[in-house]
Structure formats: C-alpha cells, structure tokens
Chain A
Amino acid sequence: MPHIVIDKNRCKSCYICLNTCPKGLIKKSSETSRLGDYLVEFEDKNNECIGCAMCATRCPDMAIVEVHK
C-alpha cells in the first residue's frame, strides 16, 4: 500500500510538505519538537496516497525518509 515514513527527529517544522501533498494527507501533529514546534504527521484513512514522492522531493531535510508506491 502506498505510504510515506516520516522521521520526526529530522523534521524542522518548515511545513513545506503540508502544501505539497496533492491529497492533503500530511498535517500538523499535536506532538512538538524539542524546540516546541509542532511536528507533522501522515494520515491516510481512505488509502488516498499514490506514492508520488512529491513531499519527499521538496522536503529540505530528508525528514520523509521513505516513500512506498
């Protein structure tokens, strides 16, 4: 099943991925980083992800460490 894996230790909360996912499957998490910024999380209840990897392409910190199609 298409999905992504986010490494929260790499995420710097720039939120570029939020605007990049064409399905809007990445959103702010309630969890915060050690600096107090909200992290991001991937939620795909309706199996909408197609593994396009646009999020990983634009993530400047390689926080999206895996994309499966």
Chain B
Amino acid sequence: MQVFKIPDSIKKDSKYTFCPGCDHGIAVRLVAELLDEMNLTEKTICATSIGCSVFLYDFLNIDCIEAPHGRAVAEATGVKRARPDNFVFTYQGDGDFASIGLAESMHGALRGEKITAICINNTTYGMTGGQMGPTTILGQKTTTSPMGRFVDTYGYPIHIAEQIALCDGTAFSARVALDTVSHINQAKKALRKAFQVQLDGLGYGFVEFLATCPTNWKMTPEDAHERVRNEMIKTYPLGVFKDVTSD
C-alpha cells in the first residue's frame, strides 16, 4: 500500500529551486497535500509575495497573482471579495508579511477578511542575503547586525502570530515549526484549520511557520533545525493563539 506520493497539486516534473535543506519545500508540500485532501485545487487563487516564498507559483497547479512587496493580503482581499466562491490564500515570508506588509497583514485581520495567510518565519531576509528583519531574534548575527541583534539599537522581535490573534476579525492564528516529524504533523493540522475557517466563512486564518534558512544562517540543515529547537522556539513559542471554533 502506497502511503506517500507527490501531491497532485504539485506541477508534474517541477523541481524545487530552494536551497538544500530549506523548509520552504516542506511548507509548500503541506499546502499542496491539503489542497488535494480538501479538494480545493481547482478553485484556489494564491496571492504571492516577494522573496524566496514567491517560487511557490512555479510548483503548484493553481492560479496565482503576484503582489507588490508585502501587499499579498491586500490583493487577496480584492480577489476574495470579487470571487467569494474561490479559495484564496497568501504565502509570504516574514519580511514580506511582518515588516514591509505589516499594515496590510494586520488590517486584513482587523477587517476579518475571509482569507488564509501563511507566513514563513526564518528570522532573516533570505533572498537578498540574510539581512536583519523584524523577526530576527535577540543576539542573532545577520549581515546587517554582524555583532548580533541588541535591544538598545534594534528593538525587540515581533511576535506576529500573537499580534494577529489579538485582532477581532481573526478566526484562527497559530505558530508551528517544521523541525521534526511531530511538529510537521502539527503544522499540517493547524494549516487545515486555517483553511477550514475560510471555507466556513468565519474570518481570517493565519499560520506562522518557524522555518530554517541554512544558507544565510551558515549552518548545515540539521544544525539549522537544532537552532529552531534550541533558540527560535524559546523566543517564539508554538501553539494556537486563537481559534473561534473552540471558544
């Protein structure tokens, strides 16, 4: 009995162009698996971002619309309001969602837009060379904080899943990780819920994935996953911060 195969929502013969060990590959696969399992592929429209996350539209058999940097939630809002029968989600990195697009991301949640937003948080600007972002954790060295991120100069990292959960229009907000098999299974469960709240018309669904960037962290993929376990999860605790279906 076959228990695993490449999801049908993945384009035939497409190959990931992410760096070796990059967790984007797992996140995209989870999206594809859920689109298959929830029978959404044919009616899905994705608003894509700028950054490594943008490559998603090279791999998925769905319609995508490219947004200016950080504006994916704003575009998804327009798409969903114009075509409410379609399933609409955004797939963004932390720089796109929580820095450049913070206003759009938050106001989408405040308006209670019936879309699903996905943020891949690797604590750095991956595509442009590993600069410090708002999610860079304290003490982390990046190309623009070579001595580490210090509070006095750079302030505190943003806890985006908790912030989104505070918005009244949010139906579901969770933070998950992709470092172990059990965390990946929990991530899929959370993403399914974030998809379902949109289908049920309950409001804004959001999932933040803690992910690795081995290239810019200058680590092997397994060392990068160790860092997720030992450092990132301490700063960004995993969990469901809002779920209107369980209230």
- Known contacts: A15-B222, A16-B21, A54-B181. The answer to whether A62 contacts B16 by CB under 8 A is yes
Write out the residue numbers on chain A whose beta carbons fall within 8 Å of the beta carbon of B166: none
Complex contact B222–A16 (CB within 8 A): yes
Kindly state whether residue A69 has any CB partner on chain B within 8 Å: yes
**A53 nearest CB across to chain B (Å):** 5
Total residues of chain B contacting the partner, CB 8 A: 28
Report chain A residues within 8 Å CB of B221. Answer: 14-16, 60
Stretch in B4-12, B109-117, B155-163 touching the partner = B4-12
Give the chain A neighbours of B184 by CB distance below 8 A.
57-58
Main secondary structure of the interface of B (DSSP, over half): mixed
Does the CB pair B3–A53 fall under 8 Å?
A: yes
Choose among A13, A61, A66 the residue that contacts B5 (Cβ–Cβ < 8 A): A66
Residue B23 lies at the interface, judged by CB distance under 8 Å to chain A = yes
Residue B245 at the A interface, CB < 8 A? no
In the complex, what residues of A have CB within 8 A of residue B154's CB? none
Interface residue range, chain A: 20 to 34
Contact of A68 among B2, B6, B15, B20 (CB under 8 A): B2
In the bound complex, how far is the Cα of B29 from the Cα of A58, in angstroms?
A: 10
Once bound together, how far apart are the Cα atoms of A69 and B29, in whole Å?
21
- Alpha-carbon distance between A60 and B1 when the two chains are bound, in angstroms: 23
The minimal Cβ–Cβ distance linking A22 to chain B, given in whole angstroms, is 10
Which residue of chain B has the shortest Cβ distance to A58 in the bound complex? B181
A14 and B21 contacting across the interface, CB-CB below 8 Å: yes
CB within 8 Å of B: which A34-60 residues? 51, 53-54, 56-60
**CB-CB under 8 A for A67 and B3, given A61-B25, A62-B29:** yes
Contacts of A58 in B (CB 8 A): 26, 180-181, 184
In the complex, A62 Cα to B4 Cα: how many Å? 10
CB of B241 closer than 8 Å to a CB of A: no
When distances are taken between beta carbons in the complex, the residues of chain B under 8 Å from A9 are: 15
Give 13 new A-B contacts, CB below 8 A, not counting A15-B221, A66-B2.
Answer: A9-B15, A10-B15, A12-B21, A13-B20, A14-B221, A15-B222, A19-B222, A53-B4, A54-B181, A57-B184, A60-B26, A62-B16, A69-B1
6 nearest interchain CB pairs?
A: A60-B25, A67-B4, A14-B21, A12-B20, A14-B20, A14-B221
Could you list which residues of chain A lie within 8 angstroms of chain B, going by C-beta atoms?
A: 9-10, 12-16, 19-20, 51, 53-54, 56-62, 64-69
